Chain A
């Protein structure tokens, strides 16, 4: 008896699969050197979009996948981030590097305000509330003159490339590295989160709130924490996106399509799994970008038809996403028989 316990205790808490680690390290190195080999601006753009969407989906994954609460208006935090950065830069000349944090802060406050009443209740109340929020933000910003109402904000362009203003006109490569670094940091932090005490407790809240309550877990507080973290991951992507395209308007950054695509990427890749959003983004973003090229202006609707269809098919046949095709022991949890 004791020996079995001793053996169990001597096991590492996480199994480290050296092959997987070296593959990931190799991929990171490749991502860093890739632009040096003269990627054209389309491919740079493609990768930037993959990084951005992976982080956005990861944000959604934290609230939906970890704590089990469905947000259908997550685009709101993207828009807040975008507007915060551009507005403070244009009005007060504050560098985006600082105003990114304003965006995160404002998003966090909204998450708390929305979360406190809604997350005490069953998931449907929250889902409906977030749907309303997503659209409300769009409506308000369309009519808010201070931030340019429907025509939005046209970010003042610097004459040349500038790291302090986070604007690069001659090449997309600097953007590539900025997004890549945010992407890596976010994934590392969320990966840590998933292995922390907080991560364990969030999964408990997701799987059975009642049982979680019996284990001293204040369920609504934990949901709110997850929502705040999620909002704070989303906002910087809005900020960076605003710097990337340098023009933002309500229809672009508060579009319901943003809320849809983060959900789709996560569900497609694997909800509740740290790697799910990467897989989802790596598959879906190229499809979406290529269809935009080949199907031209009408591409938007065709995209969405496929999104809707994929979402239903995944929900029916593979509710754990594409990642469930990869055996579990390779990635995270080991299981001994």
Chain B
């Protein structure tokens, strides 16, 4: 079952094509990795799918429902969660409160929302930090916070923008493990990632972008050997 189908999605800002005719689909329960050099349009693609930026043309279908051009709150309400490249925690609130705000989507009662939030915080291994303010957490912890908060709305599809971006090397393996653990819960994941080895390791499919266009889409192996991808992005490719 295809959870997300994107056809010829396009967006331009003042004549510059941020995304042009991008098509791909995602199988339910899989992980799609999105790669591309800086400015390739990866984050824009996320914003278009989740409704934060209004697309110019194309089709976006979530299961059978058309979500092209719908507002972000409605799209998230259908079961599409996301994290942000530039982290956006609710800084003046505790970790628990951050996640509770997401949990209220599923649980009206405050106690049950709290318990649900705690379970998710436990899932991302931050239970001891639950009463810390978001601004006091490290970058890696804040990445976990964003994942937990997005999970709290019980998404069927989760878009994660640079899970391992901006954290130190020691923190990366833990975050990668978390993504794998997340996949096991059955949620479908689309992740933007700079680290090519991680992408190859976790993804079922890879979408490669360059200058707003799709240059390749397929299984990691194919992508690895795709000449265009190597030229545009990988350069010296350290075969994993």
Contacts and interface: CB of A to CB of B under 8 A. Distances in A.
B132 to A, nearest CB: 7
B219 to A, nearest CB: 29
A9 interface: yes
A13 B89 contact: no
A50 B229 CA distance: 69
Most buried by A among B77, B115, B119, B122: B122
B89 to A, nearest CB: 7
Contacts of B73: 213, 216-219
Given A5-B127, A200-B100, A214 B110 contact: no
Interface stretch (B5-13, B80-88, B176-184): B80-88
A8 interface: yes
A318 interface: no
Given A197-B108, A334-B131, A213 B52 contact: yes
B52 A210 contact: yes
Interface stretch (A30-38, A143-151, A201-209): A201-209
B167 interface: no
A136 interface: no
B220 interface: no
A211 B89 contact: yes
Contact of B118 (A5, A213, A214): A5
Given A208-B90, A214-B76, A13 B101 contact: no
B101 A200 contact: yes
B59 interface: no
Interface string B95-118: 001001110110010110111001
A6 to B, nearest CB: 10
A4 interface: yes
A5 B94 contact: no
Contact of A213 (B76, B89, B91): B76
B128 interface: yes
B90 A195 contact: no
B77 A214 contact: no
B84 A216 contact: no
Contacts of B150: 214-215
A208 B89 contact: yes
B94 A207 contact: no
A215 B94 contact: no
A196 interface: yes
A214 B77 CA distance: 9
A219 B51 CA distance: 14
Contact of A200 (B88, B97, B122): B97
A241 to B, nearest CB: 33
Most buried by A among B101, B104, B118, B119: B101
Contacts of A203: 90, 92-93, 97, 101
Contact of B93 (A207, A210, A214): A207
A210 B101 contact: no
Interface in A294-325: none
Interface in A166-216: 195-197, 200-201, 203-204, 207-208, 210-216
A274 to B, nearest CB: 15
A196 B110 CA distance: 7
B130 interface: yes
Contacts of B118: 5, 8-9
20 contacts: A5-B118, A5-B119, A5-B127, A8-B122, A13-B111, A195-B110, A196-B110, A197-B104, A200-B97, A200-B100, A203-B90, A203-B93, A208-B89, A208-B90, A212-B101, A213-B73, A213-B76, A215-B105, A216-B73, A218-B71
What are the 3 closest A-B residue pairs judged by CB atoms, nearest first? A207-B90, A211-B88, A213-B72
